[in-house]
Amino acid sequence: MALINQAGFAEMHGVSRKTVTGWKARGWLVLEGKQVDIEASNALMIKHRPGGIQTVTGTTAGNSSGNTGNRGSDSTKVTVFAGESVEQAVRRVLASGEVEMTFDEARLMKEKYLGLLNQLEYDQKSGLVVLASAVAQAVGEEYAKVRTRLLSIPAEHAPRIHRLKTVTEVQDVLQELITEALEELTKDGDI
C-alpha cells in the first residue's frame, strides 16, 4: 500500500489541491490518517469520476508542492483547414481519438474554447477582427482602381508625350503623370 499526502496526490493527477479536497468530500479518496492510499483511491476514482482518471505512471511518497500548472493548454493544437469552420476542426480532432484527456482537462478545454469563441464574437462586433475574404475583396478593388488609372495614362497623354524630343523629357513627363495618378488615388481616402 503506497501512501502520499493530498498535495502529492493532486500533483500526481495534475489537478489543484482544491480539486483533491472536493474528491475527499465526495468520498473518492481512501485515507490512512492524513495520507492518501494511492491504489485504493485511484480505484474509487475510476469507478465514480466521469471519464475515469488518467494513467498515473509514478508514485511519489512524501511532500510535494501544489499544482503542476496548465496541463494540456498548449499541448493540443487544432489546425483549421481551408473551407473548414473552427467547430468542424474541433469535431474532426476529437472524433479522431488522437486527443486523450481527463474529464477535468476536457471541461477546462471546453471553457477555454467557449471563452475564446465569445472573445472572437466580441472582436468581430467591435471591428477589431474582420474576415480575411472581406479584406482581400477591399484590397482587390483598390488594386483594380490603381490598375485602371495607370493604364489610362498612355491613352490620355500619348499626343503630349509624342511631341517630346528627348528620352529625359519623356521620363520626366511619365514620372509626373504617374505621381499625379497615385496622389489622386490616395486622396480618395479609400485606401
* pLDDT tens column, 167-184: 999 999 999 999 988 888
Q: Which of 21, 69, 29, 34 is nearest to 53 (CA)?
A: 29
**124, 139: one domain:** no
Phi-psi region of 144 (alpha: psi -120 to 50; beta: other; left: phi over 0): alpha
Structure confidence at residue 11 (pLDDT): 84
The answer for residues whose C-beta is within 8 angstroms of residue 91's C-beta and 6 or more apart is: none
Question: Taking 80 as the threshold, does the pLDDT of residue 162 lie above it?
Answer: yes
- Number of other CB atoms surrounding residue 12 within 10 Å: 22
Residue predicted with more confidence, 17 or 99: 17
CA distance 147 to 141: 10
Q: Where are the beta strands (DSSP E) in the chain?
A: 3-4, 31-32, 35-37
**3, 61: one domain:** yes
**17, 76: one domain:** no
Question: Taking 50 as the threshold, does the pLDDT of residue 10 lie above it?
Answer: yes
Question: Domain end: 69, 92, 120, which one?
Answer: 69
Residue numbers of the domain that contains 12: 1-69
Q: For 103-126, what is each residue's pLDDT tens digit?
A: 787 788 888 888 888 888 888 889
Question: Domain end: 129, 153, 175, which one?
Answer: 129
Structure confidence at residue 137 (pLDDT): 92
Q: What is the mean pLDDT of residues 84-102?
A: 71
